[in-house]
Each structure stands twice: as C-alpha cells, then as structure tokens.
Amino acid sequence: MCPPAEFDVTYSINPWMDPSEPVDPRLAYLQWQRIHDLHVELGHTVDLIEPLPGLPDMVFAANGATVHDGRVLVARFRYDERAAEAPAYLGWFTARGFETREAARINEGQGDFLAAGGWLLAGSGFRTDPRAHAEAEGYFGRPVISLTLVNESYYHLDTALSVLDEQTIMYYPAAFGLNGVCDGQHVLMPAGAPGLMAQLRDRGYDAIDIEVSELLRAGGGVKCCTLELGPARERAAGTASGVTVVVTSVASDSHTWNLVYLQLVLEELGHQVVNLGACVPDELLVTECLRIRPHLVVVSTVNGHGFHDGLRLISRIRDYAELAEMPVVIGGKLGIAGPAGQEGREQLRAAGFDVVFEEGAAITALTSMAGQLTAGVRT
C-alpha cells in the first residue's frame, strides 16, 4: 500500500475526478488508514511504498503492478500524469528480490488484471491495452480471459468485478460500489451497498464495509489501494472452513498468556482469530463485535473477577439486537476463591453466556464448539 501523503485531485483522467472540488486530506488519510488496519487485523502483512511528490494517484497501489508466484509485471500507465509511478514500483520490487518485467504495452496492473482459479481475468476498454493481455498470458503462463469494459465510469476492471475465491467472483456493471478485496473469507468493500453485503453474508463471507468517500473523489476505492503480492486467497482457501473468533479478556484482567494460548489453539484448527488482548473495556468489545461480526466470542479471564465482570459485560453485549444471537462463551478462573461453581455458572448463562467453561475439559469443549460452528458456515 502507499500512504496518501500526496493524495489530491489535481487533474482529471476519469469521470469521478473534479479538480475544482477540494479533497479533505485528513479524512482521506483516516479512510486509507482504516483499510490498512483491517488488512493487518485480519492477519495479512502490509508492506508500504513511499509516496512520491507530484504523484497524487500513487495511493492507488493496485495499479503499480500485477504479481503472481513472485513474478512481477510492472505497470505502464496510459496517462502521463501517472507515468512516473511505474519506475517507483519497479524499484520497490527489484530491491526486494522479485523477478520483474516492465510491461511493453499499456498495462495498469491489478486495476485491470485479477487472478481467479488459475486464470487471469483481464480488462480493457479504457486503460489497459488489449495486447497487454497476451503479454501477461505469456509472462505468467496463465490463460487470460479478456473482458471489455464499456462504461467509462468503470474504467478499471476492479471497479466492476472482485474475485472472492478461486471459484467465485462478484460483479455489478452498473455500480462503482464494488472495488472490494477478498482474502477468501473477508470481503473489504466500500460502504453503501447493504444489499450486496447481505448477499455476501448469506453465502458465508464476512463482508466489512469501509467509508472511502474521499478516495472516491479520485475514482478509487478499497481494492485500488491494495496491491496484492502474495497468496492470501490460496492461504485462506485452506482454512476457509474455519470461523472468525474474537478472543478477549475482561476490563479488569491484565493476564495475556491465556489469550495467546487460546489464539494459538484456535488458529491451529483453522479459525481466524482476532485477539483483543487484556483489559478490554466493555464498550471496545461491543464495538469490535458490531464491526467484525464474529462467529464466536471467547472471553477468558483468570484474575478471579470474571464472574462479576462477565455479568456486566454480557448484559452490555446482549443490549444490542445485532449481537443477541452471537455465541459468547466465558472461561478461566471466574471467582476469587476459585471456580464460580454450579450456581455462578447458571447465573452467567441466565445473563446471556452460551457456555461457561470451568472444568478441566474446557479446551476440548471449546474447540469442539468452534468446530460445530464451522460446519454451519459456507455450506
């Protein structure tokens, strides 16, 4: 990704760009930061390229190159305004030991080339030269499916189509709102398409919307800001059967080893874990659950205040209609004098926890519960 330090709309090379409308650099930064942070939280590695003065569109890193199996076809931009971005990407990849080639034909990288199921889907019509499709096919040794874009508002393929996994794409020619990026499980997408998000969730994907109004002033969105280097989708494909689990402690508990242990156990079983860590305020957990919509929340606490903290926490969570059905379990050492006991466990369950784990078999019970949730996902 490329930080939007130079982002601006100073020229117009697509119908979205109006240089007479000022952009809000602070808001653009916050929106870009959100995309960045979500990639990191979801377990992906994000590398940064330095933004260069005079290149306001460099924030749209997806256009810098196409990358497969460690081989890089570096872009050749259609418009002079962006031409100087290409050598910057060439330098970045070369310095990091990638095999690189400079495109001979006009080629706007992952704006127009998207890989799916062994194929390369390749767009043309406004930016990438159709002859660049054959060039990419030869270089990557992957068969190309050429797609012609016909509406100038959707001038790059990634504005009209996103690859979800090796067998699934989503496309919606009539809307710019697409421009999503998916690791096989999580779909990061521009805000404003609730119907599409619902469809994705119905199909078992975790759709996460991001406000990108400022970036849209340059005709860009979530995918435009993300140049995919590695096999995130292939990696995710191996674990696509897993579920998203939030692991957390309660507000008063600063112990972390128990959380790390749970994270490792759940990840080994193929689940995606977001570990919120120790001393998590109730409001933070609620906010994160509303945002991530996990399949399971595991509250682990060992300081002896879990019973009291847990009662308060679960009632805050269940206050939200959206979180009423979300499975939440609690475990660890719940009372100062030891286990909360039968009565305590019942109270916690009555307050809204689905399961209270205190016995020795807790880990086995927990992992089997996560496994059962898995079976219900993506079927």
DSSP structure class, residue 184: S
Considering the complex, state which of residue 159 and residue 258 has its C-beta at the smaller distance from ligand ARG.
159
The count of residues interacting with ligand ARG (CB under 6 A) is 16
Binding string, residues 71-90; x marks residues near ligand ARG by CB under 6 A: -----------x--------
In DSSP notation, 277-345 reads ESS--HHHHHHHHHHH--SEEEEEE-SS-HHHHHHHHHHHHHTSGGGSSS-EEEEE--BTTB--HHHHH
Assigned token pair, 376: 């219900």
Considering the complex, state which of residue 179 and residue 248 has its C-beta at the smaller distance from ligand ARG.
179
Residue 91 CB, shortest distance to ligand ARG, in Å, is 20
Considering the complex, state which of residue 172 and residue 369 has its C-beta at the smaller distance from ligand ARG.
172
The 3-state DSSP class for residue 39 equals helix
Distance CA 26, CA 16 (A): 20
Return phi, psi of residue 328, to 5°: -130, 125
Whose tokens are 């193929």? That residue is 270
Considering the complex, state which of residue 220 and residue 331 has its C-beta at the smaller distance from ligand ARG.
220
Residue 31 makes contact with ligand ARG by CB under 6 A: no
Residue 162 makes contact with ligand ARG by CB under 6 A: no
Residue 180 makes contact with ligand ARG by CB under 6 A: no
Considering the complex, state which of residue 13 and residue 266 has its C-beta at the smaller distance from ligand ARG.
13
Kindly provide the b/e burial profile for residues 145-165, where b requires at least 16 CB atoms within 10 angstroms of the residue's own CB. Answer: eebebeeeebbbbbbbbbbbb
- Candidates 163, 207, 218, 262; binder of ligand ARG (CB under 6 A) is 218
Residue 11 CB, shortest distance to ligand ARG, in Å, is 9
The 3-state DSSP class for residue 360 equals coil
The helix (H) or strand (E) run that includes residue 25 is: helix 25-41
CA-nearest of 34, 99, 96 to 71 is: 99
By beta carbon distance, the residue nearest ligand ARG is 224
Residue 379 CB, shortest distance to ligand ARG, in Å, is 33
Stretch that binds ligand ARG, among 213-221, 248-256, 272-280, 325-333 (CB under 6 A): 213-221
Q: One of 224, 225, 271, 289 is an active-site residue; which one?
A: 224
- Candidates 100, 124, 159, 249; binder of ligand ARG (CB under 6 A) is 159
Considering the complex, state which of residue 224 and residue 250 has its C-beta at the smaller distance from ligand ARG.
224
63 half-sphere exposure, CB direction, 13 A CA radius? 28
Q: One of 156, 186, 271, 295 is an active-site residue; which one?
A: 156
The 3-state DSSP class for residue 122 equals strand
Residue 224 CB, shortest distance to ligand ARG, in Å, is 3
Considering the complex, state which of residue 181 and residue 340 has its C-beta at the smaller distance from ligand ARG.
181
186 classed as catalytic: no
Count of CB atoms within 10 A of residue 323's CB?
Answer: 20
322 half-sphere exposure, CB direction, 13 A CA radius? 9
CA-nearest of 254, 257, 277, 253 to 265 is: 257
* Cα end-to-end span (Å), the chain: 34
Considering the complex, state which of residue 170 and residue 224 has its C-beta at the smaller distance from ligand ARG.
224
- Candidates 224, 236, 247, 274; binder of ligand ARG (CB under 6 A) is 224
Residue 220 makes contact with ligand ARG by CB under 6 A: yes
Residue 45 CB, shortest distance to ligand ARG, in Å, is 20
Residue 60 makes contact with ligand ARG by CB under 6 A: yes
Assigned token pair, 56: 């306001």
182 classed as catalytic: no
Residue 367 CB, shortest distance to ligand ARG, in Å, is 40
Q: Is 166 exposed, middle or buried (0-12, 13-18, 19+ CB in 10 A)?
A: middle
Stretch that binds ligand ARG, among 55-63, 89-97, 181-189, 289-297 (CB under 6 A): 55-63
For ligand ARG, the binding residues (CB under 6 A) are: 13-14, 17, 57, 60, 62-63, 82, 111, 156, 158-159, 218-220, 224
Active centre residues (catalytic): 156, 224
